[in-house]
Structure 1
Amino acid sequence: MKFKFPLHIHLSTLFIVMTLVISGVIAGVGYQMSYDMLETSAQDLTQRASREIAGEINGIIGPANTTVELLSYHRLAYAETLEERMASFNVLQPTLNNASGMTSIFIGYASGDYLFLHRISSEEERIRYRAPAGSYYQLRSIERSNGNGEAKYIYLDADMQVLGEEVHPEYAAGFDPRQRGWYQSAMAANGTVTTKPYLFFSVGQVGLTVAQRSQDGHAVIAVDIPLLSLGAVLQRQKVTPSSQLTLVSADGNVVAYEDLKRLIATPTTANTPPALKNLKDFGIPPLAGLAGSITKNMDPEGISRSVEIDGEDWRVSVLPIPLEGAESLYLMTAIPKGELFATALKIRSTSILVTLLIILIAIPLIWLVSRFISKSIRVLANEAESIRRFKFDEPIRLRSSITEVNSLAETMDVMKNTIRKFISITHAVAAETDFEKLLPMLLNETIAAGGAQSGALYLVDGDKLLPCTAVSCVGEEVSRSLQTLRMDALPALLRTALDRQQAQDDMMNADEIEAAGLNALCEKADAAWMVAVPLFNRQHELLGLMLLKRKTRIDATQLAFVGALSDSASSSMETRGLIHEQKALFEAFIQLIAGAIDAKSPYTGGHCARVPELTKMLARAACIQDSGPYADFDLSKDEWEAVHVAAWLHDCGKVTTPEYVVDKATKLETIYDRIHEVRMRFEVLKRDAEIDCLRAIASGENKDIAEGKLAEKLRELDEEFAFIATCNEGGEFMAPERVERLQKIAERTWLRTLDDALGISYEEKRRKSGTPVTPLPVTESLLADKPEHLFERRAQDKIAADNKWNFRMKVPELLYNRGEVYNLSVSRGTLSEEERYKINEHMIQTVIMLSQLPFPRHLRHVPEIAGGHHEKMNGTGYPKMLKKEDMSPVARMMAIADIFEALTAADRPYKKGKTLSEALKIMSFMSKDQHIDDELFELFLRSGVYMEYAQCYMAAEQIDEVDINTYLDKPVVEAAA
């Protein structure tokens, strides 16, 4: 869920955030500029260092190239002895003394001889060489004329005078110039060559060697260029105290560093010659990973990156330094960013502190300003909350110096007033459920909302507009004084409103008012301002039109409001109309079903139509009681509707009851009365008796005796058939002796010579399939209970004990049993147990059918009311065996109405209607036996409902004298007659 805060918090936050953002941007820009400036400065310093180093080295290499090139032509290159070679020192001395950076000149001969002249540049160096005091030069010579080689160290002063001499045979043994790289490279080249930086064999220093082959190709003249001074150059170019700068060769060996002692690697064994340290082993972690970045095709601008070592960020870079005639060297720098950008970070911190100070000063001012600005908004927010809570009592009186806020306040005030009016009208319209009363209400509310003096409401009827309701200037109903308007001859204003489907206003002159028959709306026959408001439903179909008469022209705001109100009016009219139509349709369906049930069988007559009337009579009598058990009984309009629906549908389940069961007048009747089959069998027996008589006479028996026997036989058969016919009528109780006689008669037999499976239905053949086929002719019992008479009950016709409707009726095992003996043996009436259940089952079907209907809330008790009129107060009724306390009063009323109507109905073909006294007497017994509600029966009598019904629905001859005091515990003063 998003957090919500007041406007002054948002404004304060906005100003603070803007201050923070602006200050942050300034601080950020300042920091970035400082960062970029320091970054550029570091790059410039690195570039300058590379240029200085390149200049320094190239400044030495150039003269060195000239020197070796000149000496390649000198006789020194051809001298064969030490004396001859020393005689040429007058050429070497000025070269060593004047050429900066060159400390040694040496010559390697093809014979293996070697001459090395080195200028001792410091006292420290003299001591290291153990040279005599005053030594200025050291001469090293190897001569191999004798085959073994003779090596000498000669020390000379500044005038080239010998100060001392040492013999070093190990030097000759361990050093052969012809094996050195500078010698071999020069011999292979046509001009001067410059070696990679390496550790000089003779003096143990790091440097380069420039060499050239002599003209005759028998010697190589070389000059050593030490790189000792580059360490000082690197020291000078350090950007920060902790910066690290190294000069690295292409193979990754460090050739220059501020600390010269770290350049040489410690030999691992005594025989291992000293060597330069590789960058990976040099002990500068930020630069250790850059060795792999050195390539021949490296960008002249070099590469730079940031690395993190032990939590510290470093700026590292590699910059190639091209050399004249030699491989490039590479300047590597590592600068800690914390030191490099210290100034930028200080600027940023200062900016942040200044920003915080500004914010601390600005917060109170911003808070006060935002509170002032938001005050009016808070007032409007409270007003909006009042509107949200539908509180429209007080107008909005806010005045603000802010134009937009002031305009919003005025608009909200108008909106508040408009909504108040609209809701008031909507509530009034919604509360009116009577469609006939709704239309005048809609018109009056619209007249008031539109500031009109009079108006009329027309409804569409085909191609006409019929005046439904109208109000004059003095408030009188004048719709009858208005004329019908034809759609093809409407005034221009009304036609425009219908075409545009929105409210329109215009002036109508006296002629137009007269032509439209609107004089009743106007005080006098004169021009008037009229507002035409069309009413359309959701399908944009025209429902009608309102016409309002005003003294002045309506403004745009009122016109818009009237237009919106018309939409609400159209919806209300459409909704009420739909409800009215649906109720009418529902009522038609109810009466259609009830009528269909009554028409289905003449045995029910008009039962479904009369029971509702009698039920409502009794309910009305209960409602007006001011004493007794029903003094507090009353029914609302919705409850009356539920009574009406339930009463009309109380027997709707009978649509599922087979007609022949409902109409069964005899025991053997199904679709037809099977007594005719039995009569035919007796006819067969009688024919058989006559045939037997004739056969006996033909056989010689006395004719009188034979005919006497025949007459007796026929009389017996006629009597037995008459007995069976009497049993079939069901008018007499079947005592055991009658059942026994019936069974004895059934044992008679007759001869069937035709197949009884011919010409019958598939279903009957299926039922006969369980009976073995007997060859014809077959002797049949006169009456029989055969397997094909049994109809099995399907699963869907059974009711579980735990059914959701709580039915508690005993369900017979069979759906039907049409056995002839079985049906004729029914003790009372004409219905078998299965058929009696089928009749009673209509109550089950009524409840099920009604429970499946989506009744609205106010009709939810319809299934209970309709389904309880066969229940008894003592709990022995059906289908749920409810007791009095389990039933609603209306359901108990309907039980009385159902019984009274059935007893008194005179339109049943199977019985004569009871008289009033007979019916009440029977019902008094039922009241005492707790079959019906005794309190309601007493109300039925005391209120005179029985007589009110009798006078409306009973024949005159049925209405006899009745003394109701006979059936009352407390007699009334006047008994109803």
Structure 2
Amino acid sequence: MLSPERDPYGLQAKAERRSSGVFGGRREGDRVIRRLIELGIALSAERNTDRLLEMILLEAKQIYNSDGGTLYLTTEDETGLAFKIMRNDTLQVALGGTTGKEIPFPPVPLVREDGSKNTNNVASNVWHQRQAVNIVDAYEAEDYDFSGTKKFDESTGYRSKSFLTVPMINTSEEVIGVLQLINARDATGKTVSFDRKLQPLIEALTSQAAVALENSMLINEQRRLWDSLIEMLASSIDDKSPYTGGHCQRVPVITKMLVDAACKSTEGIYSDFDLTEEEWYELHVAAWLHDCGKVTTPEYVVDKASKLETIYNRINEIRTRFEVLRRDAEIECLKAQLAGKDKAEAEAQFDAACTRLAEEFKFVAQANVGGEFMDDDALAKLNEIAQQTWMRHFDKTLGLSPAEETFLKHKMPSTPGLEPLLGDLPEHEVGKYNRGELYNLSIRRGTLTSEERETINDHIVVTIKMLEQLPFPKNMRRIPEYAGGHHEKMDGTGYPRGLTKSEMSVPARVMAIADIFEALTAADRPYKKAKTISESLRIMSFMVKDQHIDADLFDLFLRSGVWRKYADQFLEPQQIDDVDIEDYLPAPDLLSAVDA
């Protein structure tokens, strides 16, 4: 006997009361009760809604040995009953559910055009009346409209006769669906009416089914909500920057493609590798959240396309200063002439100053782009240019925000005052960031300072911290490890944890490859042009040699054609060039042995 806690809806008690008078014997009644309990356990364990619906309908068909059956679910707006599962043994019809075949019939309307209840259809009437209806012969039923059924019979040669239609009522006393059986059959296969003695068992079954279905629907709704939230977060991160749009959405695509290739592998080290349905979902969530920490990264750091860029590119300020110096040179030329100096000599000096300033600004502007490595000679030249000064005549403390005034009120020089052409000034020190012009222009490679690069790298630390704070269920607790490992390297020199290959899971190593390939081929980065496939694969092959990415997975990435499948979907035509994977396959000594 089940305890009230295990049987909160009293299904066992109902079944015992019904079975004692239905099956004419304790033994048979016990068998039915056991079957009902076993089915209840099976229903409550099933998480796939389609399989759950099929289980409900097929079990009901088996109890009555009925030829056909249909399971309807109430539409979200509660205006109709949508066909979900249809089965008919004689006509060999199997639609809906796991078959993947859509049911071509519109929902049964629950209300008429005038707003009144539709009680002509037996299924809709059962929904409204919340009571089962047992019809011996549809052709003789006067209370319901079976014209559609008769038309169907005429076109197929079928004879729809007996009907049993039962409402599915959940714990909130809502009718969430209707179960309908057609043509009960006796032991010889002859169509008979549905035995009313068995009807309480079907009603008990639908009670169990409604509870199980309600739980399944709630879980699915929660999952849809969760999926929407993580996709919204990923999209928000992509939308935060005009230069990284789509990264958080494309990395999951590559990740799933490569993991799928590993699962389908029939030889090599991945021949026994596979993921369950729950593990696939765990990977899905991890891939979508792999960069969630970027919500804390300042936009100007993520979008920094030039060395002087903050919210805007400050090269324009420096250009204005060069204009001031040129104008000063012109004034000096005119003053010299007024003082009696030779005009030709004065103009020659002015022309020389203009030429020098133009060349110096061009050098500074090119340095700002960050496209070439800044060697010691270039840095020395930059410092020489920076030492030039210009006269400021206006008060720098005017027009500042209250926060800026508080920060800078004791650091501002008096007015007027000499300013360096390229300055590292007090107002350039903002928090941990040094926005000094000379400091930023002196970046040897790329556009980021060391503290900005640290901020970029810290997004993965924040990602792990955020994910580890979430109360993931047991089957999703590897999400932080999967998502947080895509900047680790196989030799242990990556970040943030310095993990080696043996310390990382396959999904985490896959995500590292996905992240790199997407970044190399992306056409929306501010600091580089989109690379072709051959260029990207060549760079990744060097990373394999340096033990930065997994050689085995990169080998699978190439041989399975994941790179090509992704390229066909997401890359520009001009990026897809001729590729011979033999040029990029890892050397045999870099690959793991099959029995390793």
- Quote how far apart the aligned CAs of 1:970 are: 5.1
Q: Distance in 2 between matches of 1:389 and 1:713?
A: 93
1:715 deviation in Å?
2.1
Question: Are 1:969 and 2:587 an aligned pair?
Answer: yes
- For the 8 Å contact 1:455–1:521, the answer to whether it is kept is no
Whether contact under 8 Å (1:510, 1:526) holds in the other structure is no
State the SS of the aligned residue for 1:829.
Answer: coil
- Asked if the contact 1:660/1:669 (under 8 Å) is kept, the reply is yes
1:681 partner letter: R
The match for 1:944 is 561
- The 8 Å contact of residues 463 and 484 in structure 2, kept in 1 or not, is answered as yes
Once residues 650 and 785 of structure 1 are traced to their aligned partners in structure 2, the CA distance between those partners, rounded to angstroms, is 36
Paired AA for residue 634 in structure 1: D
1:439 and 2:53 are equivalent in the alignment: yes
| Closer/same/farther in 2, CA of residues 938 and 547 from structure 1, 3 Å limit | closer
Q: Offset at 1:680?
A: 1.0
- Structure 1 residues 962, 478: closer, same or farther in 2, change over 3 A? closer
Unaligned runs of 5+ residues in structure 1 are 1-383, 391-405, 793-813, 972-977
Q: Are the structure 2 counterparts of residues 717 and 952 from structure 1 closer, same or farther at C-alpha, using a change threshold of 3 Å? A: same
TM-score by length of 2: 0.83
* Alpha-carbon separation, structure 1, partners of 2:414 and 2:570: 61
Compare 816-825 and 419-428 and name the one that shifted more.
419-428
Q: Does structure 2 retain, via aligned residues, the 8 Å contact 1:610–1:901?
A: yes
1:545/1:600 CA distance change after superposition, 3 Å? same
Structure 2 alignment gaps of length 5 or more: 8-19, 96-102, 111-116, 185-191, 590-596
State how many pairs are aligned: 545
Q: Which amino acid aligns with 1:644?
A: H
Q: Which residue of 1 aligns with 2:108?
A: 485
Among residues 835, 838, 844, which one is paired with 2:461 in the alignment?
A: 844
CA–CA distance in structure 2, aligned partners of residues 468 and 418 of structure 1: 27
> Does residue 1:646 correspond to 2:260, yes or no?
no
Q: 1:544 aligns with which of 156, 177, 193?
A: 177
CA root-mean-square deviation: 3.2
Contact 1:506/1:531 (<8 A) preserved: yes
Deviation at 1:583, TM superposition (A): 2.6
2:551 to 934, 939, 949: 934
Are 1:770 and 1:787, in contact at CA under 8 Å, matched by a contact in 2? no
2-side partners of 1:960 and 1:482: how far apart? 48
3-state secondary structure, aligned to 2:85: strand
2:592 aligned partner: none
Alignment of 1:280-429 (within 5 A): 413=27, 415-429=29-43
Q: Deviations over 1:564-595 (max 9, x none)?
A: 22111112222222233333333333333333
1:564 partner amino acid: A
Q: CA deviation at 1:707?
A: 2.1
Change (3 A) 1:738 1:767: farther
1:624 CA drift (Å): 2.7
SS in 2 for 1:489: coil
Instruction: State which of 435, 448, 463 in structure 1 corresponds to 2:79.
Output: 463
Q: Are the aligned partners of 1:536 and 1:543 in contact in 2 as well (CA < 8 Å)?
A: yes
Tell me what 1:788 maps to.
427
Aligned-partner Cα distance in 2 for 1:920–1:526:
64
The equivalent of 2:450 in structure 1 is 833
**Residue 818 of structure 1: aligned partner:** 435
Once the two structures are superposed, residues 434-491 of structure 1 have per-residue CA deviations (whole angstroms, 9 ceiling, x without a partner) of: 3223323212212334565543322223322233333447474377697853322324
1:939 positional shift: 2.2
Q: What is the letter of the counterpart of residue 108 of structure 2?
A: L
Amino acid at match of 1:880: R
* Equivalent pair of 1:433/1:576 in contact (CA under 8 Å): yes
**Distance of aligned partners of 1:613 and 1:916 in 2 relative to their CA distance in 1, 3 Å threshold:** same
Quote the Cα distance in structure 2 between the aligned partners of 1:524 and 1:892.
58
Aligned to 1:779: 418
- Partners of 1:674 and 1:828 in 2: how far apart? 19
* Corresponding residue SS for 1:713: helix
Q: Pairwise mapping of residues 348-747 of structure 1 onto structure 2 (< 5 A)?
A: 413=27, 415-430=29-44, 432-449=46-63, 452=66, 454-461=68-75, 462-472=78-88, 474=90, 476-477=92-93, 484-487=107-110, 488-491=117-120, 497-499=126-128, 501-505=130-134, 507=136, 509-512=140-143, 515=146, 517-519=148-150, 528=162, 530-549=163-182, 550=184, 551-552=192-193, 554-555=195-196, 558-747=198-387
Would the aligned equivalents of 2:521 and 2:533 in 1 still touch at CA under 8 Å? yes
Tell me the amino acid that sits aligned with residue 146 of structure 2: A
For residues 751 and 712 of structure 1, the distance between their equivalents in structure 2, rounded to whole angstroms, comes to 21
Give the Å deviation of 1:860.
Answer: 1.6
Q: What amino acid does structure 2 have at the position aligned with 1:646?
A: A
CA distance in 1, matches of 2:147, 2:35: 31
In structure 2, distance between residues paired with 1:597 and 1:835:
18
Q: Which has the higher strand share?
A: 1
Q: CA separation of 1:715/1:921 partners in 2, compared to 1, >3 Å: closer, same or farther?
A: same
Return the alpha-carbon distance in structure 2 between the equivalents of residues 917 and 481 of structure 1.
48
Distance 1:670 1:495, change over 3 A: closer
Contact persistence 1:871–1:877 (CA under 8 A) = yes
Q: Which segment is superposed worse, 917-926 or 852-861?
A: 852-861
Shift of 1:512: 4.9
Mapped partners of 2:269, 2:31: distance in 1: 52
AA partner of residue 174 (structure 2): E
Amino acid at match of 1:761: S
1:341-392 CA-to-partner distances (Å, cap 9, x unmatched) read xxxxxxxxxxxxxxxxxxxxxxxxxxxxxxxxxxxxxxxxxxx69xx999xx
CA distance in structure 1 between the aligned counterparts of 2:523 and 2:530, rounded to whole angstroms: 4
CA contact (8 A) 2:168 2:175 kept: yes
Q: How does 1:11-22 map to 2 (within 5 A)?
A: none
1:887-914 per-residue CA deviation (whole Å, 9 max, x = no partner) reads 1111111111211222122344543222
Conserved? CA contact 1:458–1:466, under 8 Å: yes
CA contact (8 A) 1:603 1:663 kept: yes
Task: Specify the SS of the correspondent of 1:961.
Answer: coil
8 A Cα contact 2:238 2:246, kept in partner: yes
Matched residues in 1 for 2:58 and 2:445: separation?
Answer: 69
Alpha-carbon separation, structure 1, partners of 2:297 and 2:472 = 24
Q: Distance in 2 between matches of 1:828 and 1:781?
A: 24
Q: Deviations over 1:918-964 (max 9, x none)?
A: 22221111111111112222222233333333333333433333333
Alpha carbons of structure 1 residues 941 and 476: separation in structure 2 relative to 1, 3 Å:
closer
1:157-236 correspondence to structure 2 within 5 Å: none
Aligned partners of 1:493 and 1:506 also within 8 Å: no
- Map 1:848-859 onto structure 2 (within 5 A): 848-859=465-476
C-alpha distance in 2 between matches for 1:478 and 1:919: 48
Judge conservation of contact 1:483–1:516 (CA < 8 Å) in 2: no
Equivalent residue number for residue 889 of structure 1: 506
Q: Distance in 1 between matches of 2:474 and 2:461?
A: 22
2:81–2:124 contact (8 Å) kept in structure 1? no
